[in-house]
Amino acid sequence: MTTAKTDEVVTEPTAPEAPSDQRERDRMRRRAARRRGGGWWPYLFLAPWFVGLFGLTIYPMLDSLYLSFTDFDLLSPAKWVGAQNYSRMFHDDPKFWGSVSVTTLYVVVSVPLKLALALAVAVLLNRPLRGLGFYRAAFYLPSLLGGAVAIAIMWRQLFGGDGLFNDFLGWFGIKGQDWISNPDTSVYTLILLAVWQFGTPMVIFLAGLKQLPQDVYEAAAIDGAGVLTRFFRITLPLLTPIVFFNVVLQIIGAFQTFTPAYVVSNGTGGPLDSTMLYSLYLYKKGFTDLEMGYASALAWVLFLVIAVFTAINFIASRYWVHYDD
Amino acid sequence: MGHQISRRTLFRTASGVAAATALGGTLSACGGGTGAGTTSDKLTMTWWGSDDRHKAYKKALKYFQEKNPKIKIEERYSGYDGFFDRFNTNVAGGSAPDLTQMDTALVAQYARKGVIAPIDEYVGKSLDLTGFSKTLLAAGTVDGKLYGVPSGIGVNQLTINRSGLEKLGLELPDREWTWADLKKIAVEVNKKSGGKMFGVDDGGGGTLQAFEVFAREKGQPFFAADGTKLGFTADTLQEWWEYWVGMRKDKACPGPEITSAAHNNLTKNGLVIGKTLITFDIGVYGAGGSITKETLDFLPSPQGDWSGAREGNFVNGGVLLSATKASKRIEDSVKIMNFFAQDKTAIKDMQLQRGIPPTEKARSIVAPDLTDIDKRNMEAADYISKRVAKASNALPAPTPPPKGADQIWDLLFQSNLAVAFGKKTIKAQLGEFFDQAEQILAK
């Protein structure tokens, strides 16, 4: 993602612009095609994309919907069992509820913290600052590395019993514990890892901040509004569309978190299932315990949960998101 | 452009598109698909292990291909983590390897699902199993048919940091030691090290070398012979957990943080990080002996010290080599199995990388080149297998574990950990353990 320099007039941030711009172009292209009467030509050029959409997304999705109603162990043919997988999940599987509560905690704590930090840093960086590009890159870097296995391994070392974090506490005479292998603290190390990767929403916030109209601020300054008043009365309301965008994306991403939990817990979700995030449980059911039918059902429940959350987000946004049309 | 896109439209669209894209991922990742089989004319062979094992396999297979220029082998190897996740995916996708190293713990479930092929018809013809004992072959035998050739003898040994003991002025315990002796020396370690070290790692959640042996000493197998039920009683497990509660209380073994950190992670094993001197994890030596610089030695799992205690140790088959049923090259795979079972060069190349060699002949071939630690390991294994063979009161060697066994072992580990962390009482955890175990086995 690129952000424009301060002196340029930025109309829209780049990321959200791309898809709708594309749509506009598609629409114009379709109109042009109709005029020329070249009916099937556009579809030929779109074919590679359709192959990907149907072959790699829609077909596997439908397949997994079918599998979610079967008993399928990957090795022998799937057997139809009706809604058994779904009823087992809700009535018969304490580990499912365990992973739901760990995941809920993870989402509810990590998303607000991450967004608050991202916004705070973005506000700090939104001023003529020498070496701004460097800071921006430095804060963004963890997000680029975030999905990487190497970072999760480093995290395991940092917060282990003999890790750097405890050495640091040792300077102040505090005797730390093994944060990763204690079931009461392990999930918070994952939350910390997520919060640390605040770069992506920060860059989006920064892009949004740069296009806020300056005249409002000048007027407010003349009226004697302080820094806090300006932030809460001007910046935040004007920025709500971008906050909304980030909230939607981060919630979806947090629900689907897999890699850090897998790596930090060595693929076990331990200790005592305290890092058994939903996606990790799903993976273990499917690929380790060979219950792919059940795993597919788990995936669909996750899909529905995320869809509901997203819908709630969109509905609620009517009441708090302020569009400056 | 004819009209201006409003910010409202823009952001709502953008949020919607982003949400849709992000969501699609999970579901499509779960869908199955039928992949094409391997098209090359190479025979695929997979295994897991340490670097040393990879090197040994590659060296031996190179020699095999020189002797059999018609068989070209594609080697795929990795560590144990995720090995069978990958194997499952390959089988499901129709690209299973022709020949694979197989875990004795999993052979029964793959045999019953028809993933691996019985090889009885080749025995005595292209597969020469002269010198393999019956108990050894039992490790690869499921429902009366042979599904894999054992690589060597596996016994229940505890790995001991002998030089560490000597530094504290303690001696290596006698091979005929009991669980009470283990506790005694472990407490000594903690005292003599000024509380810095613990004697042994927490075995309360361990199956191999640990609870399985203890239960057998009580005359109870881990799994009942037909594989659909647990073979031990709640009393036995309760007594076992109480023993470990006492061990933790007397600082004979470390607390649950260290136990949980070492789970599935050899580099955090108590013996490796210098926190304990005795470990149930056979992997510490299996990793090539290189993971710790201390002098290691080996002892059988302790014996029961109550009257009527039976021999609990047993001999199993190390790892197996199995051919997959869908393979068109089973005959060639059997040829490779035979090569590893009997060929002098192969045996020499593999050394103890897959356990103590299975036959008397093979053991004499590797003997001259063994390192000191290998010699100690082989000697200790020899001692146990002789004692087991002589014991009149030993249970038969365990049958290959049923489907879901690995989930039950994990359950045992997690249960002990929950008790150790003080999250559950033994009584409550016992009920939960048996409930969940029954549910797993019923599937």
d(CA B245, CA B238): 10
Residue B86 half-sphere exposure, CB side, CA atoms within 13 Å? 13
> CA of A134, closest CA in chain B: separation in Å?
28
Predicted local distance difference test score (pLDDT) of residue A325: 56
Report ipTM for this prediction: 0.72
B417 closest CA partner among B204, B237, B234: B204
A264 closest CA partner among A213, A321, A193, A318: A193
Question: Is B26 a domain residue?
Answer: no
Render pLDDT for B392-401 as a digit per residue (tens, 0 to 9): 888 888 878 8
Q: Contact, A207 vs A239, CB < 8 A?
A: no
Predicted local distance difference test score (pLDDT) of residue A15: 44
Contacts of A270 in chain B (CB under 8 A): 260, 263, 414, 417
> CA of A60, closest CA in chain B: separation in Å?
4
Percent of residues in chain A assigned helix, strand, coil, to nearest 5: 70, 0, 30
A86 closest CA partner among A105, A69, A98: A69
From its phi and psi, is residue B131 left (phi > 0), alpha (psi between -120 and 50) or beta? left
Predicted local distance difference test score (pLDDT) of residue B207: 86
> Is the CB of A256 less than 8 angstroms away from the CB of B26?
yes
B271 closest CA partner among B159, B349, B189, B174: B159
80-99 in B: which are within 8 Å (CB) of A?
Answer: 81-82, 84-85, 88-89, 91-92
> Is the CB of A252 less than 8 angstroms away from the CB of B10?
no
Question: Is B398 a domain residue?
Answer: no
User: What are the φ/ψ torsions at residue B42 (nearest 5 degrees)?
Assistant: -85, 150
Structural domain containing residue B162: 157-312+404-442
A181: helix, coil or strand?
coil
Tokens 């068109």, residue? B328
Predicted local distance difference test score (pLDDT) of residue B20: 58
> CA of B256, closest CA in chain A: separation in Å?
8
154-193 in B: which are within 8 Å (CB) of A?
Answer: none
271-330 in B: which are within 8 Å (CB) of A?
Answer: 273
Predicted local distance difference test score (pLDDT) of residue A323: 78
Predicted local distance difference test score (pLDDT) of residue A33: 56
Question: Is B131 a domain residue?
Answer: yes
Q: Tell me how far apart the terminal alpha carbons of chain B are, to the nearest angstrom.
A: 63
Q: In what order do the strands lie in the sheet with B319-323?
A: B73-78, B43-48, B99-103, B319-323, B149-150
Residues B234 and B189 in one domain: yes
Residues B221 and B79 in one domain: no
Identify which of A153-162, B1-10, B119-128 has the greatest average pLDDT.
B119-128
Residues B187 and B100 in one domain: no
* Cα A96 from chain centre: 22
* Cα A165 from chain centre: 26
> Is the CB of B24 less than 8 angstroms away from the CB of A57?
yes
Q: Pick the residue of A71, A289, A313 with the most B CBs within 10 A to test the interface with B by mutation.
A: A289
Q: Give the helix ranges, DSSP H, for B74-225.
A: 83-92, 107-112, 134-138, 162-167, 179-192, 212-217
Residues B284 and B425 in one domain: yes
Question: Is B433 a domain residue?
Answer: yes
Predicted local distance difference test score (pLDDT) of residue A31: 65
DSSP state of A162: T
Question: Is B11 a domain residue?
Answer: no
Residue where a domain terminates, one of B325, B350, B370: B370
Residues B174 and B259 in one domain: yes
What residue in B sits closest to A54 (Cα-Cα)?
B28
Kindly report which listed range (A27-31, B119-123, B257-261) carries the lowest average pLDDT score: A27-31
Residues B50 and B136 in one domain: yes
d(CA A100, CA A277): 7
Predicted local distance difference test score (pLDDT) of residue B443: 75
Residue type, B20: A
Interchain CB contact of B18 with A (< 8 Å)? yes
Interchain CB contact of B263 with A (< 8 Å)? yes
> CA of B166, closest CA in chain A: separation in Å?
26
B11 closest CA partner among A207, A136, A79: A207
How many structural domains compose chain B? Answer: 2
CATH number at B321 reads: 3.40.190.10
Contacts of A310 in chain B (CB under 8 A): 19, 23
Q: Contact, A257 vs A279, CB < 8 A?
A: yes
Helix-then-strand count for chain B, H and E:
17, 13
- Binned at pLDDT 50, 70 and 90, residue B31 comes out as very low
DSSP labels, A222-282: HTT--HHHHIIIIIHHHHHHHHHHHHHHHHHHHHT--HHHHHHTTTS--STTTT--HHHHH
- All domains in chain A, ordered by first residue: 85-320 (1.10.3720.10)
Render pLDDT for B403-413 as a digit per residue (tens, 0 to 9): 888 889 999 99
Residues B425 and B321 in one domain: no
Answer yes or no: is pLDDT of B36 > 80: no
Residues B410 and B266 in one domain: yes
For residue B59, CA distances in Å to A165, A185, B63, B66, B342 come to 44, 46, 7, 11, 16
d(CA A288, CA B85): 6
pLDDT tens, chain A, 325 aa long: 344 444 444 444 444 444 556 667 777 666 665 555 567 888 888 888 888 888 888 898 899 999 999 998 887 888 899 899 999 999 888 889 999 999 999 999 999 999 999 999 998 888 877 888 888 888 888 777 756 777 788 888 888 777 788 888 888 877 777 788 888 888 998 898 889 888 889 989 988 898 888 888 888 888 888 888 888 888 888 889 999 999 999 999 999 988 888 888 877 887 888 999 999 999 999 888 888 999 999 999 999 999 999 999 999 988 888 876 5
Residue where a domain terminates, one of B344, B370, B396: B370
Residues B128 and B84 in one domain: yes
Residues B188 and B292 in one domain: yes
Burial B7-19 (b: 16+ CB within 10 A, else e): beebbbebbebbb
Residues B291 and B420 in one domain: yes
A311 closest CA partner among B247, B23, B275: B23
d(CA B384, CA B379): 9
Residue partners of A190: CB distance under 8 A and separation at least 6: A106, A110, A257, A260, A261, A264, A275, A277
Q: CA-based angle B417:A259:B273, to the nearest 5?
A: 45
Residues B216 and B109 in one domain: no
